[in-house]
Structure 1
């Protein structure tokens, strides 16, 4: 059976009754989409893999309370990916801060900075990631569901547990905020480029 043949509405009750095989099918059905979404929100493939793993760990842990919309939990998984990626970013910042206050030790040169620079050289991706990280949680959730993952506003409203009109107004404001942040990030990058 391929993932296209998987009947998610029939799979969910079995998954909720602690069936690891059914959960494995649910994982196979949604892992690629969750990974692609996590990759948009994180700095590396490795971070996106970590986020994806944590999302499905949380899904297993909370399998009885996953919110289902039109027979699917993909919206719930995507919003969980938003939350997990924000937690990972916070944890990374705290870790970097702790490292910055420790005394420097003389070690052999590490080539990881060059690799990071090469991976981070995609200016558009960096600008989008930066802008998305600066959005309020509500804006990120509604943009993730409606724009990036192309769920309908009705589906997003059901996933988020709010009225349809609320999703529409949040989506309009979120698009405007994202456009402003992208413009701000692009101007800042151009200014930094001029200074080099």
Structure 2
């Protein structure tokens, strides 16, 4: 059975509610539609959206899609072209809309000056024992409360509190040992 005959057979089954038949039509043509859409859209990722839109439209018009010599591919390609043009037009309109707004001068982020310190803090965290890393990341980085952390770790909440206190102290000590003294202030 050639692709043309399979298209008509699978489509008839899909219209009757056979999801696997619709999936076979998708699998048969999705890659071809993607290749067709890539040069027509602003970014290659948009081609994925075009393929999805084509099959959505195919399903929406499932009783009126046209077969050409038994193949659904020509209808799908025309729909892909139309969908790609609509998507591209939407992108152009959006960019045009954004270009009407004034652009402020960039303001430096105060945190950018701390970028090196962040690396040192992460290095200090990595130098700690795994148990300390675990309690610090759960409570400080992920924001879990003592009770939640206790449940995750399988210990009492009081144990979490004391371990967290000691881990913070070790982290501070490790961090302070890792940063060089300020020049001229020894």
- TM-score, with length taken from structure 2: 0.52
* Structure 2: tracts of 5 or more residues without a match: 109-186
Matched, 1:64 2:60: no
Query: For the residues of structure 1 that align with 2:33 and 2:107, how far apart are their CA atoms?
Result: 37
* Structure 1: tracts of 5 or more residues without a match: 110-196
Quote the residue 1:41 is aligned against. Answer: 40
Shift of the alpha carbon at 1:108?
Answer: 7.7
Quote the residue 2:28 is aligned against. Answer: 29
Matched, 1:10 2:13: no
Runs of 4 or more above 3 Å deviation = 105-109
Query: For the residues of structure 2 that align with 1:80 and 1:105, how far apart are their CA atoms?
Result: 41
After TM superposition, the structure 1 = structure 2 runs for residues 111-150 of structure 1, keeping only pairs within 5 Å, are none
Query: For the residues of structure 2 that align with 1:43 and 1:13, how far apart are their CA atoms?
Result: 35
Higher relative contact order (CA 8 A, sep 6+): 1
Shift of the alpha carbon at 1:17?
Answer: 1.9
Quote the residue 2:155 is aligned against. Answer: none
Query: Secondary structure of 2:64's match?
Result: coil
The number of aligned residues is 107
After TM superposition, the structure 1 = structure 2 runs for residues 79-94 of structure 1, keeping only pairs within 5 Å, are 79-94=78-93
Maintained 8 Å contact 2:37/2:80: yes
Q: Alignment RMSD, CA only?
A: 2.5
Shift of the alpha carbon at 1:105?
Answer: 3.8
Deviations 1:39-82 (A, max 9, x none): 12123211111111111111111111110112211000000011
